[in-house]
Chain A
């Protein structure tokens, strides 16, 4: 449903969903190499229009006085991914459990609104190419899960790459230390991120709470219910996640 699109010979097609008009109108100007095929204030409008897009730039907080019932948070992510789009969350959200919950809901990338424009463009291209873009805060969380045997399917090489990324090392720096080419390391990292994304989507919050040393129920305000294998995504399953903007 959300397979990467081939952009050979044409500009990357992007749709932006953000309740802030200034974001919707400024992104095309800031990223002139991308083809913005639509901009919407909420997910519902976008899903009605069904624009062609290789990646959807999605804000997490879409509810406001003008659209109080707009779907937002992980509910919005699941709705968009269920429609077959690849989603890159573009938000000011910094809480790592919330960001991890976005991956659990099916997001393919997470980029902070504080990030430089060039990084946003790079992340969108990576998401469109089938990769999963994970921010440093969540990479650290993943390392904890691996160390505490919650995430056990990574190979030694994948663990080494994860360890380097968790410490902020670039591929060039890791290449010197691990004596592997940068492209090889990128390949390992792509496998890690796909495994992580799947693990987040399939693991019960209780298991994650246990692995992370959290109290029972600490993740309930953030985490979507896990999807059994083969279960189609349904936005109705996550209606309560409109409360995402609430602070803990």
Chain B
């Protein structure tokens, strides 16, 4: 199973290669493990890592956007400031910090670390407090000459996705305190409401932004876990299909390699090897080997078959075993194609186990069913008087676990294995006729 190529079905000119640099790294373009498109819609992956990239984009946009908004008022600020050089140095400190933060998040593809965010917030607080010196009091509120509140807002919003509640809260308190200190000299009855609104804007946007950021991150992490689970389930399913396709064949090949094999058993195993080879080829071609069209029989489905007929077909392939089949009591039970194919495969696996391990002198296959008019329950038992083993549900082999138990369960058949060392083994398969 391979992942779709980046770019999907788009023409080659629009496809994106696996190299990830610059913008591609932030936008997710070029990530060969996740869907990405170019052109009209840049899609950031919805993974946790993609969410961090989205936050980085948000920070970059806010910080550089703030600098762009600050720039037109710089000449006016220089002319109105009591200390031109001081105003310029503080302005450069703010713009420089915003630029550095933007570059860092762009390159790393995620928000600042808690430590560097605290440094960013400390510089912001310094910029705001220095505003007391370099920004005239009458332009501190409501103008871009006094850019400090807007700058403080951009820094506070940059911290909504920081990965530490304590760092986020400490930075918020510091920046808000500096902002209050910066605006407090302008306090009057006319400005009180505006001033309070400015401070509350910092607190409310930071709080709501933080809540939304954490929620989005939680969704993304849940998504990541779901993807990982789906991937794991897919891998296990593929492993199970491979085991189903290969297990019996591997056992047949191993037994065929036994130089002590008698001619009759060798002939039977060669016939079985042909069947298993067809099953493996179906699997290698990517077809479902449980599909009767692609089954080991290689024949088109013959329609529903009676249970005795389905079991009898398997018994015929194991003529070298001391088999005794009594199937009369279940002659009213009819199985559909896929159930019969699964039972065929599972029963063959059981009998291969008997042939390979049991050293049985007698193998009895017995079928029983409710009388017509009952609930349709039927039971098939395979008993051997061989060496037996100590059954452990946690440590059943691939044959019993996958080829027998798990393969039959989807068809409504339950399997029970009981065995005692020295007394033999009984495999009981029970099902119900579906009308």
Given A114-B322, A137-B324, A169-B383, decide whether A147 and B329 contact each other with a Cβ distance below 8 A: yes
Against B, the Cβ 8 Å flags (1 = close, 0 = not) of A100-143 are 00000000000000111001000000000000000111011101
> Which residues in chain A, 153-170, are within 8 Å of chain B measured between CB atoms?
166-170
Residues of B within 8 A of A172 (CB): 420, 423
Residues of B within 8 A of A116 (CB): 361
Assess whether B29 is interfacial by the CB under 8 Å rule.
no
Q: Which 8 A-B pairs have the closest CB atoms?
A: A140-B326, A168-B364, A168-B383, A136-B324, A167-B366, A144-B328, A167-B381, A137-B324
Residues of A within 8 A of B420 (CB): 172-173
Residues of B within 8 A of A143 (CB): 326, 329
Given A140-B325, A141-B328, A168-B384, 20 other A-B residues pairs in contact with their CB atoms under 8 A: A114-B322, A115-B361, A119-B361, A137-B324, A137-B326, A140-B328, A144-B329, A147-B329, A167-B364, A167-B381, A167-B426, A168-B324, A168-B363, A168-B385, A168-B424, A169-B426, A170-B385, A170-B423, A172-B420, A172-B423
A118 to chain B, nearest CB (A): 9
A205 to chain B, nearest CB (A): 17
Alpha-carbon gap, A193 to B420, bound state (A): 27
Alpha-carbon gap, A139 to B366, bound state (A): 11
Assess whether B362 is interfacial by the CB under 8 Å rule.
yes
Assess whether A212 is interfacial by the CB under 8 Å rule.
yes
A30 to chain B, nearest CB (A): 16
A136 touches which of B329, B362, B424 (Cβ 8 Å)? B362
Alpha-carbon gap, A140 to B331, bound state (A): 13
Alpha-carbon gap, A166 to B328, bound state (A): 12
Q: Size class of A's contact patch?
A: 20 to 34
Whether the pair A140, B324 counts as a contact (CB closer than 8 A) is: yes
Alpha-carbon gap, A116 to B361, bound state (A): 8
Against A, the Cβ 8 Å flags (1 = close, 0 = not) of B397-435 are 000000000000000000000001001101000000000
Alpha-carbon gap, A168 to B425, bound state (A): 10
Residues of B within 8 A of A166 (CB): 326, 364, 366
Closest to A163 in B: B368
Alpha-carbon gap, A45 to B322, bound state (A): 34
B262 to chain A, nearest CB (A): 13
Alpha-carbon gap, A154 to B326, bound state (A): 20
Residues of A within 8 A of B426 (CB): 167-169, 173
Closest to A118 in B: B361
11 contacts between A and B (CB under 8 A): A116-B361, A136-B364, A140-B324, A141-B328, A144-B328, A147-B329, A167-B364, A168-B324, A168-B366, A170-B424, A173-B423
Closest to A119 in B: B361
Against B, the Cβ 8 Å flags (1 = close, 0 = not) of A199-214 are 0000000000000110
Alpha-carbon gap, A139 to B385, bound state (A): 16
Residues of A within 8 A of B384 (CB): 168
A20 to chain B, nearest CB (A): 20
Closest to B381 in A: A167
Against B, the Cβ 8 Å flags (1 = close, 0 = not) of A172-211 are 1100000000000000000000000000000000000000
Alpha-carbon gap, A147 to B363, bound state (A): 22
Whether the pair A136, B326 counts as a contact (CB closer than 8 A) is: yes
Alpha-carbon gap, A141 to B385, bound state (A): 20
A168 touches which of B328, B329, B331, B362 (Cβ 8 Å)? B362
Residues of A within 8 A of B366 (CB): 140, 166-168
B368 to chain A, nearest CB (A): 8
B364 to chain A, nearest CB (A): 3
Residues of B within 8 A of A119 (CB): 361
B428 to chain A, nearest CB (A): 9
B360 to chain A, nearest CB (A): 10
A215 to chain B, nearest CB (A): 15
Residues of B within 8 A of A213 (CB): 328, 331
A167 touches which of B331, B361, B383 (Cβ 8 Å)? B383
Whether the pair A173, B424 counts as a contact (CB closer than 8 A) is: yes
Residues of B within 8 A of A140 (CB): 324-326, 328, 366
Closest to B371 in A: A147
A21 to chain B, nearest CB (A): 25
Alpha-carbon gap, A173 to B424, bound state (A): 9
The residue among B326, B383, B420 with the most chain A CB atoms within 10 A of its own CB is: B326
Against A, the Cβ 8 Å flags (1 = close, 0 = not) of B210-234 are 0000000000000000000000000
A119 to chain B, nearest CB (A): 7
Alpha-carbon gap, A208 to B278, bound state (A): 44
Closest to A165 in B: B364
B75 to chain A, nearest CB (A): 100
A109 to chain B, nearest CB (A): 16
Residues of A within 8 A of B383 (CB): 167-169
Alpha-carbon gap, A114 to B321, bound state (A): 11
B377 to chain A, nearest CB (A): 15
Against A, the Cβ 8 Å flags (1 = close, 0 = not) of B352-369 are 000000000111101000
Residues of A within 8 A of B329 (CB): 143-144, 147
Residues of B within 8 A of A115 (CB): 361
The residue among A119, A136, A172, A213 with the most chain B CB atoms within 10 A of its own CB is: A136
A99 to chain B, nearest CB (A): 11
Closest to B418 in A: A173
B105 to chain A, nearest CB (A): 71
Alpha-carbon gap, A227 to B324, bound state (A): 30
Whether the pair A212, B326 counts as a contact (CB closer than 8 A) is: no
Residues of A within 8 A of B362 (CB): 136, 168
Residues of A within 8 A of B326 (CB): 136-137, 139-141, 143-144, 166
Residues of B within 8 A of A144 (CB): 326, 328-329
Against A, the Cβ 8 Å flags (1 = close, 0 = not) of B378-403 are 00010111000000000000000000
Residues of B within 8 A of A168 (CB): 324, 362-364, 366, 381, 383-385, 424, 426
A219 to chain B, nearest CB (A): 15
Alpha-carbon gap, A76 to B119, bound state (A): 109
Whether the pair A212, B328 counts as a contact (CB closer than 8 A) is: yes
Alpha-carbon gap, A38 to B37, bound state (A): 95
Closest to B364 in A: A168
Alpha-carbon gap, A137 to B364, bound state (A): 9
Residues of B within 8 A of A170 (CB): 385, 423-424
